[in-house]
Every structure is written in structure tokens, then in C-alpha cells.
Structure 1
Amino acid sequence: MTAGGRPAGQAENEKGGVRTALAGLTTRGRSFLAAGVAAAICAYVLGQSDLLRVGLLLAVLPLVCATVLFRTRYRVAGSRRLSPARVPAGSEARVHLRMDNVSRLPTGLLMLQDRVPYVLGPRPRFVLDRVEAGGRREVSYRVRSDLRGRYPLGPLQLRLTDPFGMCELTRSFSTYDTLTVIPRVEALPPVRLTGEAKGYGDGRNRSLALAGEDDVIPRGYRHGDDLRRVHWRSTARYGELMVRREEQPQRARCTVLLDTRGAGFRGAGPDSAFEWAVSGTASTLVHMLERGFSVRLLTDTGASVPGEGSDGFAGASQESADAAGLMMDTLAVVDHSDGAGLSRAYDVLRGGNEGLLVAFLGDLDEEQAAVVAKMRRRSGSAVAFVLDSAVWAQGPGALPSGAGEARVQMLREAGWAALMVPPGAGFADLWRQADHARAAADPAPTAGTTSGGWA
């Protein structure tokens, strides 16, 4: 990622040149100017010509330095590169800055400063020595944030000074870059329940085999097609050479539901219940994509990501890396919603076997627990991680509340593999527990059908 900049001498509007130059006087320059004016006044009152010459020299020196510095036309190009541009919360990213002197004259002393949000660390400053004509200088600094989000970097500022330190002017570039801090992603253990379909399911191939050749949809012969795929019955019927269509493997589906209701979560910060739910959602999405699942992110507002096609899943034309990046960018900026219910998410889930449903839920009242319970009928299998905000506010070691346990039991009776998440729990351990809970909650699949898969 590169951010080009305008020449430093043309980066700002130069209206009010004299005023701008005088405003750039440093403490040393202002002191020299004040001392020179005072000496000139005293020399005039006392009639001392030698003192007058000294006063004029002291007063003229900072003015000359300011004029020369202001009229200097350094042509300097700046660029910025982030490595990487998308980083998990708590990890460091390195920002590389490059300054190129594109003029035919060498520069003087340059001070480089980049604007960064306070959550990423202190504002970096660098001093660059004389840059020869056509030369370049490269510097770098590190940024780190424990809070996810999108943070602007820039614009880059260049501070010019004269050799005597009398004047200092600032020139700003116009471009900036964006650092995306995504949620923490925890590696999950590969678990698999008996009787489940693989990531690329066999159900569709099996259904095609059971259908028989009369249900095969042929197409016209194309140069290079294997003659063993010629469908002779269709060839005789249409009077031209026809071949069987290639069977496309069906990818098992997984929907990850994130509850973002403001009423469902209390507290804020990297150790809050909501941040744990966001991190768990990101870990699940990445894990299922790596296992070959077709994945989508669904929130309580009904928004579906990546949203390609009518069902909202990542289609065949969308690579897993692109889909993961899109969903991670969404989770980087997700915040509490104003909604009070989960009915919109329930409406998005279509009837029938939608594969695996993994939900991260906040506080549930009886009405919302009933809505979540009905979602079980709209998925092949379902796993829920329920977080009690009141328990999380007490910190690690707090006992679960009776109301939270009652809601979890209600989901289990509806067929969910529901788990109560204690404060500060590791998601990998809960993932294994969900494996055993789901084995007990899901009935064995019947012949000729496949469920969403669990990997």
C-alpha cells in the first residue's frame, strides 16, 4: 500500500506569505528579533552607532532566515507502506516511510512526522540529514492496538528548518492510509462427528447417482470433451452429439450468527463479553473456511456477509481469502446495534437444511430465547455460545446465574448444543466441549442426507 504525496513546497496554500514566515519563527528566532529591536531602540536613545549595527544584525538575521526558508522550493515526494495492512488486535504492524528528493538541489535538515491515532502509540518523529539531489531516505516505526477498528495514518508532515534554527515551517502531504485492526483469531482444533458430511459434501453426488441417467441434463459437445462422457440417448434424440454435464461438488454450508444487540451485552473494552463474542466469531469463520466450508456471517440486524448471490454465502467465484478478508473487515468495525430482538436474523435463515449454524449470543429473555430455539428447525445442526453480561462483569471465577442456565437449557431442549461461556474462557476448549454437546444433541443422519458438517 503506497501513498504518494505532493511536493513539499506545494503542499499548502501560500496565502499570506510574510505572516506565514513570521509565524514559523522558533523561540531562538523570536529572541534574536526581540533582542535586535531592543538594542536598536537603546542605541537610538543613547546615540551609540555600534550598538545600532549590532541590533540591526540581530533583528535582520531571523527575518532573512525566514524569508529564505519560505521561498525554498524543495520538491520532495513521500510514500507510506503498511506491513501488514490488516493486523489482529494486540499484534504489531510496521509502517515504512520513504522520502525522495526529486529536485536538482540537495535539501537541508528535514524533520519528518506522521500523524497516528493515540490508540496506536506516540506520534513518530524522525530527523533526516541532507538529502542529495535524486536521493532518498527510508525510515519505519511500529504501531499496535488492543482495540479493533479502522485507523487512519497520516497525512505525513515535513518540517523544514534553517541552519541557524531561527525558523521552522511545516508542509503537509495530502494522502493517508488506513490500518485495519481485526479481532483476535484463535486456532481451533479439528473435530469431526461421526456421520457428518465432509467440507465438499457427497450428498449431491449421491443424489445424482440415485436419480438415474434419465435425469441427467446434457449439453452440446465441445472441442476437447472426453468421448467417454457422450450421452448417446440424448445424441439420438437431438440429432447432435451431446455430453453429460460435469457434476459440481456441493460445499457444506456454515452460518455464523453474531448477536450485536446493545441490550444483550454490557461493558466495553478488550476483555468484555462482546469482544469475546466477536473474537469467537472471527475464529469460527476462519476455521470453517480453512476446512472448505461455504461460510457467511449473519448478525441480528439481518445483514449477511459476504452477501454474494441470493443466499448470502461466498460463491464459487469468490476465493476463500477474499471472503475471509471481507468478513474480517466487517468484524473490525462491528458495534452494538439498536435492535432489541433476533427476529430479522430468523427471517434470513431459509427453511430446510441450511447446514451448520454457530451462534454467539448475549443476554436472552424468554421471548428471544424462543426465537433462537425456532432457528434450530431452519438449520441442519446448531451450536450456541451464550454469554451472560452480568457474570462477565464480575470477572473470572463468577458463578453462572440461574436465568442464564434456564435459557441455555431451553435451547438444549430445542435441539441446540448450547454452552454457557464463563468469563475469560478459552475458545479452543469450548470448541471441543461443543463437539461432545452436539454429538448428544443431533440425531444420526439418515441415508441419502447430509448435514452441515463439523470440522
Structure 2
Amino acid sequence: MPGPDPDAGQDQERGGLRGALGGLTTRGRSFLAAGLAAALCAYLLGQGDLLRVGLLLALLPLLCAVFLYRTRHRVEGSRQLVPAQVPAGSEARVTLRVDSVSRLPTGLLMLQDRVPYVLGPRPRFLLDRVEPGGRREVSYRVRSDLRGRYPLGPLQLRLTDPFGMCELNRAFSGQSTLTVVPRVERLPPLRPGGEARGFGEGRQHTLALAGEDDLIPRGYRHGDDLRRVHWRSTARLGELMVRREEQPHRAGCTVLLDTRAAGYAGSGPGSAFEWAVSGAASALLHLLEQNVTVRLVTDTGDAVPAEGSPPASGGRSGQTAALLMDLLAVVGHSDGAGLSRAHEVIGESGEALLVAFLGDLDEEQTALAARVRRPGSTAVAFLLDSRVWAGEGGTEALDARARLLREAGWTVVPVPPGVALA
């Protein structure tokens, strides 16, 4: 459980005692004006009793201002955010704590924490006086359906004296950051295999890895070396089967995420792009749980972890998962027009499994995506069509892209709107 994030406690307003006098309320200014007027009249009329009353009225707001000025620097504020990272649509709890280190009790306190509008309205709390050495805690919840990093703070404190003569504001400089990551679905540990003509069939063949020591033959795919044909299984099953044990690929997986703005239409939590980001996050975490070395590549050619980084095994799996989720929390649309950079990056690797989440592709980009798959490797493509998601047309273009990818040995999963990954 993370500890509290203490604010620096340095006052951002440096007006000194003059600033404290500027914090007089309407009541305080009225008392001061009435007291000065009464004192002046008493002096002119020679009325001693009226003079004492006037001085009392004038001194009361001044004493309240001095009292607040001396006590506001002896109030400390802190914030605790649990958890600091949540999936989209989940809540986090923020606890605000106020400690009094003064020898005098405080007056009325009003707390306000600054939060982005997507997390909800600004929380405000009214606290009664805090005794010397006392502590007060209040909490509120924040929630966002949109991915991103959201700053919380600074914490603002308003102090009021018991008579309501003066109000002083204090802002603490410390901030906390809430990271909202994509929703993640738990996936079954199944092996890929065969072709997928629809989402219901394809999701049974997606996200498990065939290791280098797997001796079970699999079906022949376009591009496989004929020298790897397993003739005994071919004769028994009546179709070409190839051996897996000679795959020259590492036991790893690359997840390709297409982020091109031209590949998706719409925005918001239910958009096709958010589905693709959530699907990529689910695939990456699922494979890490299976102790598979993973890498995320986008259409811009960016790769995380970078090529040459130590494999994510043991304790590094948690670090890799945190790194990937932090990246996916803020990933947005790119201005790229194609997948050429991703093709160059993936072509230099030798992972045995490739999982791609692709938006709209023209014929040229579909052919390029087909060549991303290395011969003998397993490749799964989730295709999202913007016209289908917008309900504006049929699936002819989507079917054509799927056919080209299947001919190149891909397992293709067309994704209709509102369908879960698992």
C-alpha cells in the first residue's frame, strides 16, 4: 500500500501580514469601519466609554487576522491515492489529511482538491476546528472511463476564525498522478491454430504460444519449408502437416498495435480504437502471465521494450507489465499513413507469435501487413473496420482484407462492434 504523498507545505501566497489583513471578510471590514468611526466620534465628543467600544470593535478583526496569519503556517496537508493505477471505469480513493502542529486550536477549515473535470466535480470539505496536535481525514473517490494520466492537486485550504472576521487561503504544492490504463480481459490459455472466419471461432485460436520444443505437428501454411513436412502425420490425417521443432524463432511474441488516425473512426470508450488498445493490453498481460517474452510495436515503429532489452522473466515480468500499461494509458492516434516502419522493426525480430490489431487498410497496406508475418511463424490479426463500427456499410471491404491476409498464412479475426475479446 503506497504511503501518503506529503505536500511540500510551502505557502504560495507571500503577502505577509498585509495579505492577512487583505483577507478580512465583509463582517470584519464592517467591524473595523464601525470601530474606527466610533473611536473618532468618541474623541470629538469626549466620550470615554464610546472610545473603548470603538477600539474593541476595531481591534477584534485585526486580532483575528493576526491569529489566522500565525496559525496557517502550522497546518500541514497531505494526500494519499490508492491505487495510483486503475483500469478505465474503476474507482480510486483519495484521502486528504490535515495535521495541526500549532499550540492553538484552528478555526473553521475548508478543504478543496483540484481534479480534472473528467474525474468529476472538485471535492470540497468543511472541517470543524482542529485541536492542537490533532488530525482530520476526509476521502473521496475518482473515476474515469477515459485512459490517461490525471494530476490531482494542489490541495487548497481556507482557514476562518471563529467569529468569521477573516479568511485566509493556503495552497500546498504537492500533486499526485492517477494513471487510468485500458480495460483488460482475462484470456484462456489456448493454442493458436487454424483459420478464423468469424469472431466466435477465431477467439478460440488466438493467444497461446507454441514453444521451440513443441513436437506436435501443425497444419501446413503458405510459406512453410517443404523440408519440414511431417509425412507420418500427413498420411494419418490426410493433409500436409509440418514439424514445429525446427522453427528458427524465439519463444516470444510481438503485439502490433495500429494507431493511425486514418484507420479508425469515432472516439470515446466504445470506439474501435479503444477496443484495439484494450485488446493489445489484454494480450500482452496474458502472455506475460504465461512467462512469454513480449514486445509492443506500433505503426510508428516504436517498440517497448526496446530491442536488446533483457527478457521479461521472473521479477522483470512485473516491470515490463507496468511499463507497457503506462504506455498504453496515454497512447493516442498517430499521423502515419502506413505500416512500413512497423514492418521494418518486426522484420528484424524472430518471435514465433505475432498478434496484430489493425484498423482500416487499403490494398497496398494490406499486402504490406501480409508480408509482416515471417514464414513458419504464427500470426493472428484482429481486423476493425470503421464503416462496420459506424454502422454505415457492409463487410465487403473487410472480407477482402481478411482474404488477403489468410492467403498469406494469417489467422484472421474480424471484430464487430461491442464484442468482448475473450
Same fold (TM over 0.5): yes
- Residue 175 of structure 1 aligns to a residue whose secondary structure is coil
- Residue 189 of structure 1 aligns to a residue whose secondary structure is coil
**Which residue number corresponds to residue 184 of structure 1?**
183
Alignment map for 1:2-401 (pairs within 5 Å) = 2-7=4-9, 10-14=10-14, 16-33=15-32, 58=57, 60-72=59-71, 74-193=73-192, 201=211, 203=213, 252-307=251-306, 309-310=307-308, 314-316=311-313, 319-350=316-347, 353-377=350-374, 380-394=377-391, 400-401=394-395
Give, in angstroms, the shift of residue 94 of structure 1: 0.6
Q: How many residues align?
A: 377
Which of 415, 420, 434 in structure 1 is aligned with 2:414?
A: 420
CA contact (8 A) 2:7 2:79 kept: no
The Cα offsets for residues 77-111 of structure 1, whole Å up to 9 and x where unpaired, read as 33222211110000001112222333444433322
The Cα offsets for residues 90-142 of structure 1, whole Å up to 9 and x where unpaired, read as 00011122223334444333222221111111212223333333332222211
Give, in angstroms, the shift of residue 317 of structure 1: 6.8
CA distance in 1, matches of 2:214, 2:403: 35
Rate the CA distance shift 1:144–1:288 in 2: closer, same or farther, 3 A: same
Letter in 2 for 1:252: A
Which of 401, 404, 417 in structure 2 is aligned with 1:407?
A: 401
The Cα offsets for residues 323-378 of structure 1, whole Å up to 9 and x where unpaired, read as 11110000000011111111111111135742111111111011111110101226
CA distance in 2, matches of 1:403, 1:38: 86
Residue identity over aligned pairs, in percent, reads 67
Rate the CA distance shift 1:40–1:413 in 2: closer, same or farther, 3 A: farther
CA distance in 1, matches of 2:19, 2:29: 14
351-360 or 37-46: which moved more?
A: 37-46
- Residue 143 of structure 1 aligns to a residue whose secondary structure is strand
Give, in angstroms, the shift of residue 173 of structure 1: 1.4
CA contact (8 A) 2:191 2:209 kept: no
TM-score (norm 2): 0.79
Rate the CA distance shift 1:421–1:40 in 2: closer, same or farther, 3 A: farther
CA distance in 2, matches of 1:413, 1:194: 15
Give, in angstroms, the shift of residue 262 of structure 1: 1.2
Letter in 1 for 2:387: A
Rate the CA distance shift 1:352–1:302 in 2: closer, same or farther, 3 A: closer
CA distance in 1, matches of 2:97, 2:285: 34
Letter in 2 for 1:414: A
Letter in 1 for 2:133: G
Q: Which 5+ residue runs of structure 1 have no aligned equivalent?
A: 207-249, 429-455
Rate the CA distance shift 1:177–1:260 in 2: closer, same or farther, 3 A: same
Give, in angstroms, the shift of residue 43 of structure 1: 9.0
Letter in 2 for 1:332: A
Give, in angstroms, the shift of residue 68 of structure 1: 2.8
- Residue 20 of structure 2 aligns to a residue whose secondary structure is helix
